[in-house]
A = this chain, B = another copy of it.
Amino acid sequence: MELSRIYEAIQGDLGRVKDNLSSISQINFHWLSEQLDYVVRSRGKGIRPALTLLVGQLFNYNDNLKYLLSMAAAVELMHTATLVHDDAIDKSVARRGKPTIFKMWGEETAILLGDYLFAKAGESVADTQNPRVIKLFSQTLATISSGELNQLRTAFKLEQTRQQYFQKIAGKTASLFSLATESGAILSEAPEKSVKALKEYGHNLGIAFQIVDDILDFTSTEEKLGKPVGSDLAQGTLTLPAMRLLECYPEDNPIRKLFQNQDQDRQKNIAQAIELVRGSAIARECYEVAAEYCVRASHSLDELPEGASHRPLAGLADYIMYREN
């Protein structure tokens, strides 16, 4: 399913969220305004805010639209803030085909701009006036930061279990997806059973999304990704395809060499790992794992009240499997 079709019913409101995000750069401090404008312009596909709105559409959408729009903006702002900080941490120079804030203005600015974006996200979630959602929002930020710290701690470590991998991607990615869906359900006054089901849906969708991200880091192109392929390996992040590659080639493995000595033959080892994954069944195997999580996500939708049209949400689970960037 095309993203434009999935977004069909919320297209106008998603546009309003984007307009609200753009408006944060209209401040009386030219330097900061320029950076904010830069960062909100280079936005992605808007999956997270779309999730909040699409979930809202299943229940009492119109009466709570104001709050759902605030929440959608909050989710996207938090996502943007974490990306700005991630790029400073990873010293990444490109994202979405453009130089990062880190590359453009340096690390100090990236830290403070990220903080500013967290603050704007906090203001936006405060506008929902819903204490439960506001608390969830901060808990999610704690989970994300903790997940990122966990990733940092295990960088360039070869001995990692599947369980550790899933724990990390649950923290750094799935938690924000489930915040987007759970808060959408709460704010549209969904029954508790549905809130729970949609939280689960978001979690599983997020896990699948991150696995696909991790595959694309090997199989896609710099042009499509908007950043170099092999970025995860360059940062020492052991993703699912990388784990599989280590299992398939226990001896003389380029990832083993890279992680054991980051300086020697760095580019050669990364290129070789990419080539090995592309020439093997690893990507397909990992897609199968992602697909399992999409199936789980879809199963959660069966828990929703009859009559609620969850086709866009099912479509999204389909889309994230076949996306190219």
Contacts and interface: CB of A to CB of B under 8 A. Distances in A.
B145 A115 contact: yes
Nearest to A81: B115
A124 to B, nearest CB: 8
A160 to B, nearest CB: 14
A92 to B, nearest CB: 12
A321 interface: no
B89 A148 contact: no
Contact of A145 (B116, B145, B146, B148): B116
B152 A108 contact: yes
A51 B91 CA distance: 39
Given A29-B146, A149-B31, A150-B29, A138 B122 contact: yes
A58 interface: no
Contact of A109 (B116, B129, B135, B149): B149
Nearest to A90: B108
B148 A119 contact: no
Given A89-B111, A115-B145, A149-B31, A129 B131 contact: yes
Interface of A: 27, 29, 31-32, 82, 85, 88-89, 107-109, 111-116, 118-123, 125-127, 129, 131, 134-135, 137-142, 144-146, 148-150, 152-153
